[in-house]
Structure 1
Amino acid sequence: MNSMRRGILAFFGSLVLSRPSPSRAASQPPAFAASRSSYKPRHVLCFLGKDNGLAALLQSARAAIAQFDHGFTADEDGSQNEPDDRMVRSFNICWDRVNPDAYEEADEDAVATHGCVLYMLSPPMTAETAVATSAKVLMFVQYMLDHGAVAVKGETSGVAHGVRRWKELCAQGRSAADSDDLLALAKTCRLAFARRPIGDDAEGMASVGNHLVGLPDVLVTFVRKDEQQPSTNDEQLEIAALIDEIGDQMAHEGIAAAVAARHATLSDDTRYDEDEYKFNPFGVVTIRDKKL
């Protein structure tokens, strides 16, 4: 059993079955999010492989399932042993725009020349199991990239990273698990699987996918100096940085404390229907009228 898997499974046991010891309290979340819905989120992953490579990808997926979690399932009906001409446009929309090195030309080429598509689903999650499950999903991604996958996209939030960036995130997760640092592990999983900023100037910009680590999403409405001009890339990155900062604060201090400190509001997620994968059962924290 590799060190990341061993660390995550041990951490999962401590989260669910016991109280944290004083020496580990600093790495534990103050409280789990209260669900505002009966819906339980899950990961949906899209793996691209080489020509006529679906059988090999399925074999790799079954090996990963045996190693990491028997609750993972393959959507064989939705998968296909041929290219999907929608993938280039889909990945172009979904590439992470926050990290400057999120993807490379080689990743775009791999998407353009892919030969098969495999969809995988994680087990449904609660707030208590979200980080541990997402950490297993990160390990699953690493395994698949090492065994035939040429590109990966998180369908739940609509985010994609290039191979180098995925492996960097996996290494960060492994380091956090080895150090028994749940907060660092949760942040790594959030950066891997949540997308931000999504939206527009009129309605504001938000995260999508924080429910995959058991947190509400964050919506920021804003006021610019010149309302006649659309928001710039730098302004959108400023919004993304604020979303990440609030995500860190919720994980460290607890959701109620972060909401109070930011003079924000927590409400139900009305952006998506309750049966959609993007729906956040833990709600949406809204920051209004930030000045850019």
Structure 2
Amino acid sequence: MHHTPFSEYRPRNVLCFLGSVDGFQDLLQAAKDAIKDFATDFEIDMESTQDAPDVRMSESFAVFWDQVHEDAWHQHDVEAVISHGCVVYVVGPHMEAAEAPAVSLTALRLVERLLAAGATAAKGESAGVAHGAARWRQLAQEAEGAEPGAATRACRLAFAKRPLTDGYYLSSVGFHLVGLPEVFVRSNSSVDELALSAMIDSVADEMAADGVEAVVARYGAELKAINEYEEDDFKYNPFGGVYFFTGVH
């Protein structure tokens, strides 16, 4: 089902949680409890965690907000970022392709747990994506108890970002967090970005269901290594990218 990676690098989930002023100890304890209860391969990054606001967060979230889902975030989510008083980082284990969906499902459960415990905002650092609290909860609920394909899709929507553009392609970043290559679709001025994003998501669904090689063959696409990021960058996808030269559908 999984093709040979282009690199020995293995991706990992990096999660950032914001808390309220005076909420640091409770948020930190909630993270520790979640790790003990079910996220045993995750750990708190104490070097980056701090009982103080981070002045970079407003700008970071502004860039990270999901721009595809209509109700991905609201003004009160923006205000929660502005008024935050502490930051907790949690990192997951390095993942092989086959285990990535299950590990990312644990990461999504961890986001839901910490939001319930008082986190005021959350973002995924590995692909640079953020959602509002309600959208995070919705994705976690969609994944909970779902059959594997639907759970993997919810995790992909939670932790991957699209569309990014280089002027020539629109693409995803973060599909490595569910063990898939990124998808690159030729940018077309006659098709809007939301439609191309839907194409990217459709291809990802097909790859998850049928395998990467089958989808590459089906569309005459090309699977190749991605060189936009260094191999030690969280956004680097060792499973490569699938490039579509003549459209998808």
Q: TM (normalized to structure 2)?
A: 0.96
Look up the SS of the partner of 2:44 in the other structure: strand
Q: How does 1:1-292 map to 2 (within 5 A)?
A: 31-176=1-146, 181-200=147-166, 202-224=167-189, 235-290=192-247
Higher helix share: 1
**Uncovered stretches (5+) of structure 1, i.e. residues with no partner:** 1-30, 226-233
Q: TM (normalized to structure 1)?
A: 0.82
Contact residue 3 and residue 213 of structure 2 kept, 8 A: no
Contact residue 39 and residue 107 of structure 2 kept, 8 A: no
Distance (whole Å) between structure 2 residues aligned to residue 276 and residue 84 of structure 1 = 22
Distance (whole Å) between structure 2 residues aligned to residue 199 and residue 222 of structure 1 = 8
* Amino acid in structure 2 at the alignment position of 1:236: E
Cα RMSD after superposing both structures: 1.5
Cα displacement (A) at 1:148: 1.6
String of CA shifts for 1:163-208, please: whole Å, max 9, x gaps. Answer: 00000001101130xxxx11111111111111000123x2311100
Cα displacement (A) at 1:289: 4.7
Distance (whole Å) between structure 1 residues aligned to residue 187 and residue 47 of structure 2 = 43
After TM superposition, what 4+ stretches of structure 1 lie above 6 angstroms from structure 2? none
Cα displacement (A) at 1:55: 2.0
Distance (whole Å) between structure 1 residues aligned to residue 184 and residue 63 of structure 2 = 20
Rg larger in 1 or in 2? 1
The 3 A distance-change label for structure 1 pair 149 and 33 is farther
Distance (whole Å) between structure 2 residues aligned to residue 34 and residue 97 of structure 1 = 32
Contact residue 52 and residue 82 of structure 1 kept, 8 A: no
Count of residues in correspondence between the two structures: 249
Contact residue 12 and residue 94 of structure 2 kept, 8 A: yes
String of CA shifts for 1:52-94, please: whole Å, max 9, x gaps. Answer: 3222211110100011122111111111111111111111111
Look up the SS of the partner of 1:34 in the other structure: coil
Look up the SS of the partner of 1:39 in the other structure: coil
Distance (whole Å) between structure 1 residues aligned to residue 239 and residue 60 of structure 2 = 27
Contact residue 33 and residue 214 of structure 1 kept, 8 A: no
String of CA shifts for 1:195-226, please: whole Å, max 9, x gaps. Answer: 000123x231110000000000001123435x
